[in-house]
Structure 1
């Protein structure tokens, strides 16, 4: 099967295209939506399926109109992966869907499926995953060495479970002066009235290039994994484990459904438990590393982009059949 993958962000380019190639598909990648370039690809490559994802810089109103018009002109089926659900479902995902009219919607949020189905769409669950060729242990570097690392963007309104995650995991560690380093945007602009605590500048580092994330996960002893909702997992949940990092996450239903706390990662339900877990695993390096190895094995065995690509092909194939 020929797959035309259209996206610019590294996180996506290192994901599903790898998965489709591992299944034996021929993949062509476009990193922008330009009319002439897209039309030439559709005429010459003759894809069986176009796959798009997310909400990135190439998704302007005019470019989405070009995408919809040309895929329809050449009769190419379109699968869209809605990775901003459920927080930005109405503001972004629905706008994207109404603009491009995809044949299949895949969402990282299982609870969004009936929302799309009620609107008459073919909607299916597709969580994030890892690419073992890229998401793997990095190089230990002094600049990334710390007891606890955070690689995340701070919220603007903090009106999702992400705020709870930060308060459960990060707040007690900052307040008690642990060795924490934070990479990401907007942490210097926290609204204290919303988040409830301050993060001194000594903890803050610059935004981290995506290609350097594995080095942080390898260099830190513990990586905090915030969750955006109770029912779906962030991409970093899989990527940290794949890099054999030791992940500490809130104890959500989605985490418990996908992984085994104490075997694949550590989970906290409260501020007090966070401190207890951090103190314990900082002192027990051998046990910490054993869990990290087990977590990596779990995502490599069950949560790679090859698994996700196979799921997409199965659903598209059933429709075609």
Structure 2
């Protein structure tokens, strides 16, 4: 099966692409780069993909040019609506109207697409065992607590996670490192980190090394009331055999077992108690991290995800 990716993000290159067969031919034309129209037209004259695939905001600024071009070449678009449900109305719905198939990690959005007469399937994030695996620890990333996440002001529910997981740890005597965008340094919420905590933006190829160097990896989610949607970092951290501490959500509880695959907290005070307890129990951290990795390797790899929808893709 020939597959054209319209972006070269890490989520696609190091993630989703791993779910396809070695016999599948995957090529990339990132539409955020100048000259993409000419390159795409030239490619489609010599090579016929089964479908084109794009995720999230990657096509939002070029949709008015992209959709007619795809129709002209009779090329179906698969749109992975990775920002559902909060951005369903603003972004997912209008972009989905140009797609032949929508993939959503938010199960509650499926009736919304059906109401709009748009074909949609449930398709969650996952891990890629050939990339998301334990790596040699690095002194650069060694710490008690590690958070790899961007700061966003556009997702109000994300603040619940901040106040539950991160805020109570800022005033403690823990060795904490935070990697992400520069909005951690200045934002309209005036949420600031103490000196030495913010470490800059983490290159994606360093993710396994960072996750393998921390005693506890912290997780934040932009959605706290979805039965399925959670941060992709959950699957990636567990794949790297990290001990993962995050805030409770229905999706987390529906997918994983507390104190078996990962650990969740419902309250800032509980977060501090859990951190203090598990920092002193290396044996339990390693046991839970191993069980978490076994769970995602067994049920939540991109090979599992693609296999579940492959027939639908082949019918496009």
Residues 229/158 of structure 1: CA separation in 2 closer, same or farther (3 Å cut): closer
Higher helix fraction: Structure 1 or Structure 2? 1
Question: How far apart are 1:13 and its partner, in Å?
Answer: 1.6
Residue 83 of structure 1 pairs with residue 82 of structure 2: yes
Aligned-pair CA distance for 1:268:
0.8
1:297 maps to 294
TM-score by length of 2: 0.92
Q: Please list the CA deviations of residues 223-265 of structure 1 after superposition, one character each: whole Å capped at 9, or x if unmatched.
A: 1111111221111010000111110011211011111111111
Q: Cα distance, 1:191 vs. partner?
A: 4.7
**Is residue 204 of structure 1 aligned with residue 198 of structure 2?**
yes
Contact preservation (8 Å) 1:8, 1:32: no
2:55 matched to which residue of 1? 53
Q: CA deviation digits over 1:273-304, x for unaligned, max 9?
A: 11111111111101101111111111111111
Residues in 1 aligned to 2:40 and 2:154: alpha-carbon distance in whole angstroms: 37
Runs of 4+ in structure 1 off by over 3 angstroms are 190-193
Q: Does 1:247 align with 2:263?
A: no
Give the conservation status (yes or no) of the 8 Å contact 1:78–1:102.
yes
Stretches of structure 1 that go unaligned for 5 or more consecutive residues are none
Distance 1:301 1:14 in 2: 19
Distance 1:314 1:130, change over 3 A: same
Match of residue 18 from structure 2 = 18
Correspondences of 1:36-115 after superposition (within 5 Å): 36-56=38-58, 59=59, 61=61, 63-98=62-97, 101-115=98-112
Normalising by structure 1, we get a TM-score of: 0.90
Map of 1:170 onto structure 2: 166
Unmatched tracts of structure 2, length 5 or more: none
Could you tell me whether the CA contact under 8 Å between 1:105 and 1:123 is conserved in 2?
Answer: yes
Give the Cα–Cα distance (whole angstroms) in 2 for the partners of residues 192 and 103 of structure 1: 39
Distance 1:106 1:163 in 2: 26
Q: Deviation at 1:157?
A: 4.5
Please give the alpha-carbon distance, in whole angstroms, between the structure 1 residues aligned to 2:111 and 2:219: 28
C-alpha separation between the residues in 2 aligned to 1:202 and 1:5? 38
Name the Cα RMSD after superposition: 1.9
Structure-2 separation of matches of 1:77 and 1:279: 52
The 8 Å contact of residues 217 and 242 in structure 2, kept in 1 or not, is answered as yes
Name the CA distance, whole Å, in 1 between partners of 2:134 and 2:230: 21
Relative to structure 1, the CA distance from residue 49 to residue 265 in structure 2 (aligned partners, 3 Å threshold; closer, same or farther) is: same
Counterpart CA distance in 2 for 1:144 and 1:93 is 36
Mapped to 1, the partners of 2:29 and 2:188 lie a distance apart of 39
Q: What is the aligned partner in structure 2 of residue 8 from structure 1?
A: 8
Once residues 158 and 92 of structure 1 are traced to their aligned partners in structure 2, the CA distance between those partners, rounded to angstroms, is: 14
Which position in structure 2 is the counterpart of 1:143? 140
| Count of matched residue pairs | 309
Give the Cα separation in 1 of the matches to 2:212 and 2:94: 38
Matches within 5 A, 1:208-219: 208-219=202-213
5 Å-filtered alignment, 1:221-300, equals 221-230=215-224, 231=226, 232-300=229-297
